[in-house]
Structure 1
Amino acid sequence: MLATLLAVLTASSLVSAQSAANQAYTPVSGACPSGFEVVRLVGPVGNQTLNQQEVEYISTRKANVLPDAWKTYLANIQATNASLPDYVASILSGESRYPNVGIASSGGGWRATLWGAGILNFLDARNETSAALGTGGILQAAQYLSGLSGGANLVGSFAQANFPTIQTLAFGTNSTDPTSAWGGWLPQINQQDPYTNATQNAEYLQELIDEIRGKYAAGFSVSYNDITARDNGRHFVNGTNAENFFNDTLLHGAGYTWSSVPNVPTFASYSQPFPILIATLLSPNGNFSNIIPNSSDIVPTSNPIMEMNVFEMGSYDPTLAAFTPMKYLGTTNDSVCWTNYDQTAFVVGASGDWNTFYNTSESVLVNSYVYPIVTALNESIPQTDIVLDSSLFPNPFRASIMNGTFIDENETLIMMSDGASDGEAIPIQPLMVKARGLDTIFALDANQDFANAYWSAGGSLVNTQNRINTLFPTAYSMPPIPTNTSEFSAQNLSIRPTFFGCDTSTEAPLIIYIANGGPPRNGEAPLTNQQPSNLTLDQTQAFLDQVYAIAMQGYPTNASEVNDPEWPACLACAVVDRARNATGTERSGLCSSCFERYCWNGTEVALTTTTTTKSGAQSMGRSVMGVVASTLVAAALAYF
């Protein structure tokens, strides 16, 4: 394909027309608003502060929206006639404090996007089946929703598309205004090669490159993620449907910024959970001895985990402990402010920029699908000393502000990679920020934990636990979990819902772990153990249906049963448990028996073999290298 690609580039490079998408994607400069500060310091561990706009959103949502959301959920679970202890109804009706719930949706490509969507559908009050089961309503009552990589595709599109039903999110609407309406994920169109013809795919790639020229002309470096962003805009941002996907006169999501989500009606009415996307800092200054040993991970766990919410970007990790306004990404001082840098598709792409994984050796890179794309970018927009296989942001966290606390404070650019590049594919860390006060976290896991199988086995939670215990024991509180993926597998903790933190300090949240750990118990052929690059609409529906079937299973007392009839009630017990404890009420009745069954008991079994996992606790370390622009890739890889 490369020869075809370069031939197209030669002809196309003579054309410099500014398309509508090009203009809408280009950052815009202007005067900074009065009182503008480029960086907000969050304060020391134990006394960190949240952004005031976030505080206002959560407090107003708690006061005006969550009471009715919890009442709806309570009505749904009561309609099942489950014999729940009285304290469940007392808590959910507001007689004591409400639960504080967050949901984290993992990475794992399209598999993770669909897995997370299927579980959210199981928790959605708008789904009549979920309402009848007694699980619908938790989504509406959640305070936060975080996503990473494939999960960021879900969370990002969900927020900007006005918090639609999952069916609408996946398949779109029948709007009479197809140029601006939500058109669905379009999974039937391959993200790398939307055509079956190589020449047309090369032309499509050149179209994407042409759409980022304005950003480069404005003085900003561009990278692989800018190309990804323009493709993401056609799948995960408003304005594209199957009929107009290849219409190059449309915006295809360009101009839709992440900081404009607060203008979306369901956000403006405080009706959707607060969305957070996660990436990792890809730095030449990191402590590479902190890369997880014997893993395919490429980022040290000591690097800050970067959070991108609709108000700001930064990290609560003590190694950064600072944020910059999302609306003004691209700004590095208080005299000239840039807007329009925070394109939703670009921010979503930063969370899922896993192409750096290919760049661990020259042979791996040259034989990857990334190579012709970065070569095309390098030929079309020549740049010097730029790491192309990363997401690039002008660095606002400079030495004059950070005073030696940030490893990249002397860098002009900060680079980001896939949120799972440090081995943590479930974006649970932002939900454990103590200032947010969450006491219950759903951890939805569709990450690949086995080298030759697309099943999950707790590797991300293991790595998060190790990171917190080793590096940040006072910054975050996490309940105990098994120490390795072999324990998860031996105790079947990833093939059924598992509660972690049932009998530990109440400072740590209770984690409800729902993993893509195995095939459904109903005898269907497994569909969720794949890594699709595209799916037909029928295949997408079948995938979502199977996720829903797995979500309904629970953990039956009788091994011959497919579904646990008490699972919805047990889930309600878990949701209210931290609030129950805060009132001094003893766990009782059905909730006691549920916790005996669903909770990890804190013990580990004797293992005679060790499972080598892809994501997790054991693998061979690989050094990180970056593709440097305007050089021969084979000769000028930049070793960090």
Structure 2
Amino acid sequence: MSAVTSQPSFMLRNVPYPIITAQAVDLSGTVCAPPVNASHYEFTPYEFGSWDPTIGAFTPTKYLGSSLSAGKPVSTNSCITNYDNLGFVIGTSSALLNDPGIGTDEVYDATFANFCTIPDATVSTDPDDIAVNAGIAQVLAIPNVELLSVADLYAPWPNPFYNLTSAPQVSDSETLSMVDGGESGQVNPIVPMLLPSRQLDVIIVNDNTDGTDNFPSGQELVNTYEQAKVAGLTRMPYVPPFEYFAAHNLTSHPNFFGCQNDSVATIIWVPNAALTPIGGNTSTNKIQYSEAETVAMVANGAAVMSQNNSEAWAKCLACAFMDKSNATNLPAVCTTCFTEYCVDP
């Protein structure tokens, strides 16, 4: 991932700046997934770390994989590079195999759901271990999968903040066991965008969560709003309770949160919808796609973001940005747009 910093297009700022997020799970107890208030970690071409006050530390992405203690390399002779392979980073950000609902249509088998309590073992005849191995094998559709450790279901990253007293949340862990950040109930990684230092005015959220009938319900956005309040992230605009989404059919079209309020960011929330024959509403449990299915899913995503190439939507999208630019005398069409898309309970 860090190698992109030497690419001419990146150096000239001609491409988007990627921020890929994930969360960590403490496997020292019986916790399988990150809690609702879990810290958000960021992978960028330059740094990896978390702004969470109980971590508050970053390290060069290029040297992820190197063993550090108290912020210093354990080896004085060499550091590890290329551990930040982009495929591994993206895989970490979407790692879900620790979730007992994946592959089971969210019918939580008691044994599978409690696998974190099963002792690690390289060889085991325990019925629970055997049941978990069978469940994982079924999920992956790979024969003879052998679960050697619970940790095998997580993306392992050598903890660069090991023994770092200023990062008490993770200073005791030599390894960060990381998973998809959506497991904490915030599938859309909005929190890192709310940091005051980033000074973002507009955030576009393409919501593809599988809520009602595998379409977004709005619950994930509500969860982010609630956690942002707890964390004191004042750039988060007001989001009404979950019941409001259903009562006002907000999931049927894009919405603007934070209109005409310079103290908060505007969130342009674009929920997934069936705008092409395939609909785009496949379950998270589906982990294999044919080439044709992939093309169809991308086509539906393009239709959602462009609202079927709607010229009116394009104008309203521009109005949402102009609203935060302190522009005066906005076009008359913006008044119509704000009436249609701004959520102001």
User: TM-score band, normalised by the shorter chain?
Assistant: 0.7 to 0.9
Query: 2:165 — aligned with what?
Result: 402
- Structure 2: how far apart are the matches of 1:374 and 1:539? 25
Alignment of 1:342 with 2:98, yes or no, is: no
Query: 1:272–1:360: structure 2 CA closer, same or farther, 3 Å change rule?
Result: same
Equivalent residues of 2:191, 2:228 under 8 A apart: no
Residue 86 of structure 1 corresponds to none
Counterpart in 1 of 2:151? 387
Distance verdict in 2 for CA 1:570–1:371, change over 3 Å: closer
Q: Match for 2:270 among 514, 519, 541?
A: 514
Pair 396,564 (structure 1): closer, same or farther in 2 beyond 3 Å = closer
Counterparts of residues 122-141 of structure 1 (less than 5 Å): none
Q: 1:412 aligns with which of 168, 174, 179?
A: 174
Q: Distance in 2 between matches of 1:502 and 1:571?
A: 12
Query: Which residue among 2, 17, 23 is the counterpart of 1:280?
Result: 23
Please give the secondary structure, in 1, of the residue aligned with 2:99: helix
Offset of residue 286 of structure 1:
9.2
Q: 1:374 to 1:267 in 2, by over 3 A?
A: farther
Task: Flag the 1:535–1:395 CA change in 2: closer, same or farther, 3 A.
Answer: closer
Residues 318-467 of structure 1 correspond to what in structure 2 (within 5 A)?
A: 318-331=53-66, 332=68, 333-334=72-73, 335=76, 336-358=78-100, 359-362=112-115, 365=132, 366-368=134-136, 369-370=138-139, 376=145, 387-399=151-163, 401-403=164-166, 405-450=167-212, 453-467=213-227
Q: How far does residue 307 in structure 1 lie from its aligned partner after superposition? A: 0.6
Partners of 1:374 and 1:541 lie apart in 2 by 29
Structure 2 length-normalised TM: 0.80
> Runs of at least 4 residues of structure 1 off by over 6 A?
285-288, 371-375
Q: Compared with structure 1, are the counterparts of its residues 286 and 490 closer, same or farther at alpha carbon in structure 2 (3 Å cutoff)?
A: farther
Matching residue of 1:590: 333
- 1:327–1:339 contact (8 Å) kept in structure 2: yes
Residue matched to 1:310: 45
Could you tell me which amino acid in structure 1 is paired with residue 2 of structure 2? S
TM-score (norm 1): 0.45
Q: Distance in 2 between matches of 1:507 and 1:287?
A: 41
**Structure 1 residues 476 and 391, CA, compared in 2 at 3 Å: closer, same or farther?**
farther
| 2:318 pairs with 1:572 | yes
Q: Give the residue type in structure 1 aligned to 2:170.
A: D
- 1:149-200 per-position Cα deviation (integer Å, ceiling 9, x unaligned): xxxxxxxxxxxxxxxxxxxxxxxxxxxxxxxxxxxxxxxxxxxxxxxxxxxx
Matches within 5 A, 1:476-495: 476-484=234-242, 486-495=243-252
Bigger radius of gyration? 1
Q: 2:281 aligns with which of 526, 529, 532?
A: 529
Name 1:193's counterpart in structure 2: none
> Offset of 1:378 from its aligned partner?
5.0
**Structure 2 unaligned spans of 5+:** 101-111, 116-127
**Following the alignment from structure 1 to structure 2, what is the Cα–Cα distance between the partners of residues 317 and 286?**
22
Shift of 1:316: 1.1
Structure 1: tracts of 5 or more residues without a match: 1-257, 289-296, 380-384, 555-562, 604-640
Aligned counterpart, 1:540: 294
Measured after TM superposition, the shift of residue 398 of structure 1 is 2.6
Q: Determine helix, strand or coil for the equivalent of 1:449.
A: coil
Paired positions, count: 309
| Structure-2 separation of matches of 1:285 and 1:434 | 34
Q: Which amino acid aligns with 2:325?
A: A
d(CA) in 2 for partners of 1:378, 1:460: 32
Given that 2:278 and 2:296 are in contact with CA atoms closer than 8 Å, whether structure 1 keeps it comes out as no
Identify which of structures 1 and 2 has the higher relative contact order when contacts are C-alpha pairs closer than 8 Å and 6+ apart.
Answer: 1
Whole-Å Cα distance in 2 between the matches of residues 274 and 262 of structure 1? Answer: 10
Post-superposition shift, 1:351?
0.5
Do 2:270 and 2:304's aligned partners in 1 also have CA atoms closer than 8 Å? no
Question: Which of residues 294, 307, 314 in structure 2 aligns to 1:553?
Answer: 307
- Partners of 2:176 and 2:341 lie apart in 1 by 42
AA at the equivalent of 2:23: T
What SS does the aligned partner of 1:427 have? coil
Displacement of 1:282 in angstroms is: 0.9
Asked if 2 retains the 8 angstrom alpha-carbon contact of 1:286 and 1:300, the reply is no
Q: How far is 1:321 from its partner? A: 1.2
**Helix, strand or coil for the counterpart of 2:314?**
helix
